[in-house]
Amino acid sequence: MLRDITLGQYYQTESVIHKLDPRVKLVATICFIISLFVVKSWVGYVAAAAFLAVMIKLSNVPFKYMVKGMKAIVFILLITVVFNLFLTPGETLVAVWKLRITREGLELAVMMAVRLSFLIVGSSVMTLTTTPNSLTDGMEKLMKPLKLFKVPVHEVAMMMSIALRFIPILLEETDKIMKAQIARGADFESGNLVRKAKAMVPLLVPLFISAFRRANDLAMAMEARCYRGGEHRTKMKPLKYAARDRVAYGVLAAYFALCIVIRIYL
Amino acid sequence: MSIILDHVDYVYGGDTALAVHALKDVNLVFPDGQFIGLIGHTGSGKSTLVQHLNGLIKPTGGTIYYNGEDIHAEDYDKKKLRSKVGLVFQYPEHQLFEIDVFSDVCFGPKNLGLSRQETELRAYAALKQVGLEDEYFYQSPFDLSGGQKRRVAIAGVLAMKPDVLILDEPTAGLDPKGRDEILDQIAKLKEETGITVVLVSHSMEDVAKYVERIIVMNRGSVMFDDTPKEVFRHYHELEEVGLAAPQVTYIMQALRGKGMPVAADATTIGEAKREILRALGR
């Protein structure tokens, strides 16, 4: 039932992108997103598309998987396109009743659609090629400078990885409790909104209790192994940049520079 | 009045590369009034199988009949089926949610749309059947001990007055005393009401002691389906799939190996005792 939900899912395969240091991928994703807003001309989008296509090709993840992530935002995409299409002032192309489609509106709508879909596909390249654990590892390392401002970087990263770890467990638990209550005659589907909300009680109460129990057990197990936060903590596999990571940073810098050049001269 | 599984197939994860064939061509009949044991290694498909019996999972192939009707037919009333085929999940105490024990047990019959009086009568009877004392009825279910919670959860299913009661590992995580109490109560219930009971278990001792028929699952298929004596005679094959016969069976085999004239197919301690005494001529 609920097991079909995919959330920032990792796709296991061998590729150069998979092997990259998570920090590189995080920085690259942020740079890519910024670059989408830097460029303003069609040449710029062609450059971004080319960059993205090469990354997808290198990642060995089937394109089908990337597009799957798009399904969730189709609605948002549609709204953006419609609003931009009709509400941008400028030279009128088609006019129906009070609604006018302008040349500027059309351009803006297409641009926004391209931007949004590139944004989603771009970030899904990262989540599909990086395990949640190494992602939080990378974030922790990247955010380390924030420690100077008393930000509990390690704790935040730990919370994130625990939260990610618990998603599949809680989904499975929900599925199980749901089935158990259905076996006792519960009905989660029919009835109006109020009835449906009421029907959730037999599901949510056991689910929360189980989540608290698991959290409690985990905290106990961590303390039993002397966990006491980030101070003086070392890692079994510390993140280290390899030659390919430096190359990747080089490629990224070149791409970003290109985007800026396009913005200024074209 | 029976459950019939006709060429039932079930595949998890549909069209992805991770598809698991959990049940392969399962053909079984669960007649009325039998006490059936369902055993199998972890991942053999036992839990998947029992969830088919009350229509929680729809088979990807084959048909399931309850009292001669296809339970996945368009107009079949699944809610009624679930009141007739009661399923107690593994660790059922994790589904308790009400503010007190009594209301929690009332949840099932209330969902059946029974009157308040009938609901409460059934809840009371069910709690008595699992041997819970009156003093606990108005306590929070979360304040009870593990064994008591388990009883409350089982009572929650019994209160629906099922004709078939399926228990998925009802004794997992209980101490020997709690385990024996719960199983004895189920056996007593079975004797008094004549319902069908399907006991999913890991423990060969439990199964041998109570049931009259054993179904052994292995990798999604039915491996054996016979009386305990016949099934445990194949203890070599059972070992190969990660199961075993009850320990007394091994003792009797060993005694026979040493030249004692005992029948080697005893499956309970009582039987073994009689057999040894007979062999000793007392």
Alpha-carbon gap, residue A227 to A154, rounded angstroms: 12
Asked if residue A70 has pLDDT above 80, the reply is: no
Q: What is the pLDDT of residue A69?
A: 65
ipTM here: 0.87
Question: A262 lies in a domain?
Answer: yes
Q: Residue A202 and residue B83: Cβ atoms within 8 Å?
A: no
When pLDDT is cut at 50, 70 and 90, the band that residue B190 belongs to is very high
Q: What pLDDT is attached to residue A128? A: 86
In a domain, A33, yes or no: yes
Number of structural domains (chain A) is 2
Q: How far apart are CA B102 and CA B124, in angstroms?
A: 8
Confidence bin at B279 (pLDDT 50/70/90): confident
Q: Does residue B9 register a pLDDT over 70?
A: yes
The better pLDDT of the pair A96, A207 is held by A207
- Residue A59's nearest CA partner among A149, A146, A122, A114 is A122
Q: Which residues of A touch B110 (CB under 8 A)?
A: 185
Question: pLDDT for A219-230, tens place per residue?
Answer: 999 999 988 887
pTM above 0.80, yes or no: no
A24 with A54, same domain? yes
Looking at residue A4, what is its pLDDT? 46
Alpha-carbon gap: A209 to the closest alpha carbon of chain B (Å): 8
pLDDT for the residue numbered B117: 95
Contact (CB, 8 A) for A131 and A12: no
Whether residue B17 is predicted with pLDDT greater than 80 in this model: the reply is no
Query: At B63, is the secondary structure helix, strand, or coil?
Result: strand
Distance of alpha carbon B32 from alpha carbon B195, whole angstroms = 7
Give mean pLDDT, residues A105-126. Answer: 87
**What distances in angstroms separate CA B212 from CA A137, B204, B209, B252, one per listed residue?**
56, 13, 9, 20
| Judgement on whether residues A30 and A67 belong to the same structural domain of the protein | yes
Checking if the pLDDT of B207 tops 80, the result is yes
Are A36 and A126 found together in one domain?
yes
Residue A162 lies in a domain: yes
- What are phi and psi for residue B72, nearest 5 degrees? -105, 15
Q: Look-up: residue for tokens 């409690």?
A: A216
Nearest-CB residue to B97 (from A176, A187, A201): A201
DSSP for B32-78, written as a single string: TT-EEEEEE-TTSSHHHHHHHHTTSS--SEEEEEETTEETTSTT--H
- Name the DSSP letter for residue B241: T
Would you place residue B27 in the very low, low, confident or very high pLDDT band (cuts 50, 70, 90)? very high
- Say whether both A77 and A2 belong to one domain: yes
Task: Please identify which residue in the block is written with the tokens 């056996």.
Answer: B187
DSSP-derived 3-state class of residue B203 = coil
Q: What is the 3-state secondary structure (H, E, C) of B116-184?
A: HHHHHHHHHHHHHHCCCCHHHCCCCHHHCCHHHHHHHHHHHHHCCCCCEEEEECCCCCCCHHHHHHHHH
* pLDDT over 70, % of chain A: 96
Torsion-angle region of residue B91: left (phi > 0), alpha (psi -120 to 50) or beta? left
Give the pLDDT mean for B57-66.
92
Average pLDDT over residues A130-148: 87
Is the pLDDT at B132 greater than 80, yes or no?
yes
> Over 50: is that where the pLDDT of A5 sits?
no
Among B82, B97, B110, whose Cβ lies nearest the Cβ of A183?
B82
- How much is the average pLDDT of A84-113? 80
Residue A3 pLDDT greater than 80, yes or no: no
Would you say residue A10 has pLDDT above 90? no
Q: Is residue A117 scored above 70 in pLDDT?
A: yes
* Statement to judge: residues A106 and A175 lie in one domain: no
Query: How crowded is residue B166: how many other Cβ atoms within 10 Å of its Cβ?
Result: 27
Same domain, yes or no, for A92 and A192?
A: no
Query: How far apart are alpha carbons A197 and A58 in whole angstroms?
Result: 46
Q: Is residue B57 within 8 Å of residue B10, measured between CB atoms?
A: yes
Q: How many Å is the maximal CA-CA distance in chain B?
A: 65
Residue A23 has pLDDT above 80, yes or no: yes
In-domain check, residue A124: yes
Q: What number of other Cβ atoms are within 10 A of residue A175's Cβ?
A: 13
A181 neighbourhood in chain B, CB within 8 Å: 95, 107
Q: Please tell me whether residues A164 and A89 are part of one structural domain.
A: no
pLDDT band at A8 (very low <50, low <70, confident <90, very high): low
Listed in sequence order, the residues at least 6 apart from B145 whose beta carbon sits closer than 8 Å to its beta carbon are: none
**Quick one: tokens of B26?**
């399962």
Q: Is residue A140 part of a domain?
A: no
Q: Tell me if B168 sits within 8 A of B90, measured CB to CB.
A: yes
| Mean pLDDT value of segment B135-142 | 92
- B219 contacts B45 by C-beta, under 8 angstroms: yes
pLDDT number for residue B14? 64
pLDDT band at B233 (very low <50, low <70, confident <90, very high): confident
Interface size, chain A vs chain B, as Cβ–Cβ contacts under 8 Å? 56
**pLDDT over 90 at A64, yes or no:** no
Which of A78-82, A85-89, A183-187 shows the lowest per-residue confidence on average (mean pLDDT)? A85-89
A174 → chain B, closest CA residue: B95
Q: What is the β-pairing status of strands B20-31 and B2-12?
A: antiparallel
> In sequence order, which residues have a C-beta less than 8 Å from that of residue B226 and are 6 or more positions away?
B213, B214
**How high is the mean pLDDT of chain B?**
89
Q: How far apart are CA B4 and CA B52, in angstroms?
A: 11
Q: Is it the case that residue B109 has pLDDT exceeding 90? A: yes
Judged by a CB distance cut-off of 8 A, whether residue B119 touches chain A is no
**Do A209 and A114 fall into the same domain?**
no
- What was the pLDDT predicted at A107? 84
Structure tokens, B211? 């049931």
Q: What does the alpha-carbon distance between residue B251 and residue B240 come to, in Å, rounded to a whole number?
A: 19
**Considering the domain boundaries, does residue A222 fall inside one?**
yes
Of A176, A177, A184, the CB nearest to B107: A184
DSSP label of B71: T
Residue A37 lies in a domain: yes
CA A153 – CA B262 distance, rounded (Å): 71
Query: Is the domain of A122 the same as that of A211?
Result: no
Over 80: is that where the pLDDT of A15 sits? yes
Same structural domain for residues A58 and A38? yes
A107 is a domain residue: yes
Residue range of the domain that includes A45 = 1-130+236-266
SS3 content of chain A, % helix, strand, coil (to 5): 70, 5, 25
Taking a C-beta distance cutoff of 8 angstroms, is the pair B229, B235 a contact? no
> To probe the interface with B, which of A184, A200, A204 has the most B CB atoms within 10 Å?
A184
- Cα B266-B237-B167 angle, rounded to 5 deg: 70
CA angle B48, B50, B52 (to 5 degrees): 75
- Which residues, 6 or more positions from B216, have their beta carbon under 8 angstroms from its beta carbon? B39, B40, B222, B223, B224, B225, B231, B238, B241, B243
Taking the C-alpha atoms of residue B145 and residue B149, their distance in angstroms, rounded to an integer, is 6
Q: In chain A, what residues touch B111 (CB-CB under 8 Å)?
A: 184-187
Statement to judge: residues A165 and A220 lie in one domain: yes
Residue B112 with chain A: CB contacts under 8 Å: 185
| Shared domain check, A82 and A200 | no
Q: What are phi and psi of B213, to 5 degrees?
A: -150, 140
What pLDDT sits at residue A178? 92
Rounded to a whole number of angstroms, the distance from the CA of B105 to the nearest CA of chain A is 10
